[in-house]
Amino acid sequence: MVEYGLDLTDQVAIVTGGGTGIGAATAKLLAQHGAHTVIASRKLENLERVAGEIEAATGRRCLPIQCDVRDEDSVNAMVERAFTELGRIDILVNNSGGGYMFPLLQTAADKWDNNVALNLRGPFLCTKAVGQHMIDNGGGRIVNISSGAGVSGVRGGAAYSASKAGLQMFTRVTAAEWGKYGIRCNAVAVGLVANEGSRRSWARAGMDEAAIVAQIPRRRVGEPEDIAWPVLFLVSTASDYVSRETLFVNGGPSLGGLPDED
């Protein structure tokens, strides 16, 4: 009988893109629920700062590892160090990602390739690298941080939209192939989440945050913690019978039809 709950005591979680935003908020929340964490990204300074904050606040181990998820050798080295130092890998959160906003005719091939490498190749490499460890351990949980753009698309983001759509299908196939090993795999399709980086991107793209908020039923953009809590649910036994799903976390749907009532 499964003991349902959010307790992650002494489990080990890898969170890519863990030095800022959603990744940092997720690593902190998993640690608050008992997990030891590995946070990985290209900028070691951010990782070391977040790791110090997590260890001071929770008493859980947090291991910062510099890693480029687009590079197979870098990913394999990160995973092997995580396993060597912490002894197991129970959870993987593929959070590293990003995108460029260019009209299709102005999208250079190298920009396309880098977007696909970051948003799709990276999660593939990380998932493949942890797979055997999870199988040997009797199971595991994987969460891929995707985007609503992977479902509905976004103008000016062909590469981003296509790579996130691919990530959601990769989630389904992983869940189907590895379910027999006790491994669950789900995705979170994120809406607009506010942080310094995203606000800079909105400004570069000429997007007005007030106009954006007016189209969101919850009347606010998301915060990193809004994503961290659903991730906690998906990596815990509270979601033990949930696998291959894409959970939308976006403040509600934006629909056509009659205008909003005041």
Q: Which residues are marked as active site? A: 160
Task: Map tokens 């260019």 to a residue.
Answer: 102
Q: Judging by DSSP bridges, how do beta strands 62-66 and 36-41 pair with one another?
A: parallel
Quote the CA–CA distance of 52 and 62 in Å, as a whole number. Answer: 8
126: nearest Cα among 81, 78, 86, 83: 78
Phi, psi (degrees; rounded to nearest 5) at 64: -85, 130
Burial letters 126-144, b for 16+ CB under 10 A, else e: bbebbbebbeebeebbbbb
CA distances from 117 to 69, 97, 162 (A): 8, 9, 12
| DSSP one-letter string for 173-198 | HHHHHHGGGTEEEEEEEE--B-SHHH
> At which residue do the structure tokens 């942890």 appear?
130
Nearest Cα residue to 65 out of 19, 96, 122, 25: 19
Structure tokens at 160: 């981003």
Q: How far is CA 17 from CA 30, 72, 86, 119, 244, in A?
A: 15, 16, 19, 11, 22
